Amino acid sequence: MSNVPFDQLDGWIWFNGEFVPWKDAKIHVLTHGLHYASSVFEGERAYGGTIFKLREHTERLIESGRILGFQVPYSVDEIDAACNELLHRQGFTDAYVRPIAWRGSEMMGVAAQKNRINVAIAIWQWPSYFDPEQRMKGIRLDLAEYRRPDPRTAPSKAKASGLYMICTISKHAAEAKGYADALMLDWRGQVAEATGANVFFTKNGVIHTPTPDCFLDGITRRTVIELAKRRGYEVNVRPIMPEELDGFEECFLCGTAAEVTPVSEIAHWRFTPGAITRQLVEDYMAEVQPKRMAAE
């Protein structure tokens, strides 16, 4: 990816039903979503000209809005069509897709019942989320200071912008210490996720992953579980305590941006990327880009 600021990229953005030049897609400084985090979004990837699991992402976008108390003013079909048309207009085959919906600037204050719900979609080229040279060797994670909150205190089933505040803080702190990312615990002290990806561990041929009861049950996470079961692996979804990390052999992250990424280190715990992780890296890439793999 280039070092050009995101507001200076070229192309088009779908904005409230219209395709507008990239640099003209602007909002006012008093937009409610900026001040009060009344915003939901999705992260999607296109492979070979097809957006992977687009409908599931769009349905989650609309559901996230509902959880935050607003109705996205476009149907699933309309948003799907806009994403596909925008991908075509941008001229990309492999790209990252970012739909977002937010409350506008009609009212300013905690209450904003009459604010317009705006929707935009941007698409840009975004290669591997982590350093490609380091990725397959296993990335290094710090242990985050902040924890995923009790679902009674935050809308954890929504992909809501405000929930990522502690993720940004934690990832910045980890990077400042030379790590690629950070593992977050939850309010109970159980293993939760990384700052933008779900986490998996292996032991004696069995895959273990935390129960997503206070963090997002990722679409990529569900895909990886399905792929693992197809291979005959047992997948154990359960609470995981940090002290259990001593006994795990492999560790990997997964998410739309991260795809499937091996982990070699979490704080003082060490892991060796092995056969299960490599198999799921390959299976995931085959799943998201079947046309390309078939052609090869």
Task: Provide the pLDDT for residue 293.
Answer: 41
The band of 294, judged by pLDDT with boundaries at 50, 70 and 90, is very low
The conformational region for residue 157 under phi > 0 = left, psi -120 to 50 = alpha, else beta, is alpha
In angstroms, the CA 20 to CA 41 distance is 19
Tell me the per-residue pLDDT of 230-282, one tens digit each, with 9 for 90 and over. 999 999 999 999 999 999 999 999 999 999 999 999 999 999 999 999 999 99
Structure tokens at 206: 């069995």
Show the tokens assigned to 163. 């929930």
| CA 185 – CA 2 distance, rounded (Å) | 33
Angle of helix 219-230 relative to helix 275-288, nearest 10 degrees, comes to 110
pLDDT tens figures, 145-156? 999 999 999 999
* Alpha-carbon span 233 to 202, nearest angstrom: 10
Residue 25 has pLDDT above 70, yes or no: yes
Strands 181-185 and 139-143: parallel
Q: Which of these, 227, 236, 225, 165, lies nearest to 196 by C-alpha position?
A: 165
For residues 204-229, average pLDDT: 98
- Cα separation, 279 vs 199, in Å, equals 16
Mean pLDDT, residues 196-222 taken together: 97
292 has a pLDDT exceeding 50: no
| Tens-place pLDDT, residues 54-101 | 999 999 999 999 999 999 999 999 999 999 999 999 999 999 999 999
Q: Which domains, ranges and CATH numbers included, belong to the chain? A: 6-124 (3.30.470.10), 132-292 (3.20.10.10)
Whole-structure pTM value: 0.93
Amino acid at site 186: D
Q: How far apart are CA 213 and CA 161, in angstroms?
A: 18
pLDDT of residue 1: 52
Question: Averaged over 6-19, what is the pLDDT?
Answer: 96
pLDDT of residue 51: 97
pLDDT at 3: 82
* 203 catalytic residue (yes or no): no
State CA 213 to chain mean position distance: 17
18-46 exposure pattern, b = at least 16 Cβ within 10 A, e = fewer: eeeebeebeeeeebbbbebbbbbbbbbbb
Kindly indicate the confidence band of residue 295, based on its pLDDT and cuts at 50, 70 and 90: very low
Give pLDDT, residue 2.
Answer: 63
Q: Which of 47-61, 96-110, 121-135, 167-181 has the lowest mean pLDDT?
A: 121-135
CA angle 189, 190, 194 (to 5 degrees): 105
Structure tokens, 26: 């602007």
Beta carbons of 263 and 213 less than 8 angstroms apart: no
Q: How far apart are CA 256 and CA 97, in angstroms?
A: 10
Q: Which residue in the list 137, 159, 177, 291 is annotated as catalytic?
A: 159
Return the pLDDT at 176. 98
**296, pLDDT greater than 50:** no
Residue 290: its pLDDT value, please? Answer: 59
For the chain, the first-to-last Cα distance in angstroms comes to 26
- 132 band by pLDDT with thresholds 50, 70 and 90: low
Continuous H helices in the chain: 32-36, 54-67, 76-90, 132-135, 165-176, 219-230, 275-288, 290-295
Q: Answer yes or no: is pLDDT of 215 > 60.
A: yes
Residue 152 amino acid letter:
R
